[in-house]
Amino acid sequence: MPDQQTTHLDYAEEAKAAERAEAWPQAAALWLRASETCGNAKQALQYVRNADFCNHRHAVDAKLEQIAKNVLKVPTLRYRRSDRLDFHELSVGQIRMALRAAYEAGKQATREG
């Protein structure tokens, strides 16, 4: 039985699955691989845009994780499937500071383009 060659559609399907899992770096890499194997320039450009979107989401998630660690003293924003690990008692002051930090990060990102 001959080996089947992986097509851009295969990479795109894998990228969509990675997006659903919020595995942004993997999704971005798969979108770029799809763009490299696609013969249609318009479709390849869309794949590159999808990769850019995933890279942006990864950067936002990293910033939110940083705010959670530094301001809220929450070690991770990943689900750990344990009430003891996934629920935290926070003061309204901590929440206000975290929201302010997120707002400022958004303003800074807008200025940077």
For the chain, where are the E strands, in sequence order? none
CA proximity to 63, closest of 105, 104, 25, 22: 105
Q: Binning pLDDT at 50, 70 and 90, where does residue 3 land?
A: low
- Whether 2 shows a pLDDT value over 70: the answer reads no
The pLDDT > 90 percentage for the chain reads: 88
The single-letter code of the amino acid at 109 is A
pTM: 0.82
The count of residues in the chain is 113
* Domain extents in the chain: 8-112
- Whether 23 shows a pLDDT value over 90: the answer reads yes
Predicted confidence (pLDDT) per residue in 77-99, tens digit: 998 999 999 999 999 999 999 99
